Amino acid sequence: MEIEIYNNYQKFLSFPAAEIAGKVGEYFAAEKSASLVLTDDEEIKDLNLKFRGIDSPTDVLSFPADESDYLGDIFISVDRLIAQAAEYGHSPEREFAFLLVHGILHLLGYDHENEEAEREMFSKQEEILNALNYRREK
């Protein structure tokens, strides 16, 4: 899968986003593509309010496309990513891979709207992250 990255984040990235996105993209179907926008809490909060009616920042948002080859757009808040990596005691690299995989799975139709769907999605996430060697450190 080709993942086109747009970096709207105005600060230094402490992790190799393109390298990780390439590794994650290789796991998925080669003929598919998606866009990834790296942003901050302010922009993702605006998007969360506009599209979900929630007036707070979130870590990742996915917007599916109506095309067969182009899956859609993923927005990741680097501010949330860094805070969550520290909170959960693992690297920004692992958190970035986690959020990217989470976003891609949403584009592929996975969700966590109920317990069964959440178990299925989170199990798939862990399977992918383990296969890519982005295991939980705790």
CA angle 101, 59, 48 (to 5 degrees): 115
Domain that holds residue 110: 2-131
Name the H helices within 1-138: 17-27, 41-52, 78-88, 92-107, 115-131
30 within some domain: yes
21-55 pLDDT tens trace: 999 999 997 789 999 999 999 999 999 999 999 99
110 within some domain: yes
137 within some domain: no
Whichever domain contains 43, its CATH number is: 3.40.390.30
21 within some domain: yes
Mean pLDDT of the chain: 95
Q: How many domains does the chain have?
A: 1
76-96 pLDDT tens trace: 999 999 999 999 999 999 999
Q: Write out the two tokens for 77.
A: 């808040």
136 within some domain: no
138 within some domain: no
> How deeply is 78 buried, as exposed, middle or buried, from its count of CB atoms within 10 A (0-12, 13-18, 19+)?
buried
**CA-based Rg of the chain, rounded to a whole angstrom?**
14
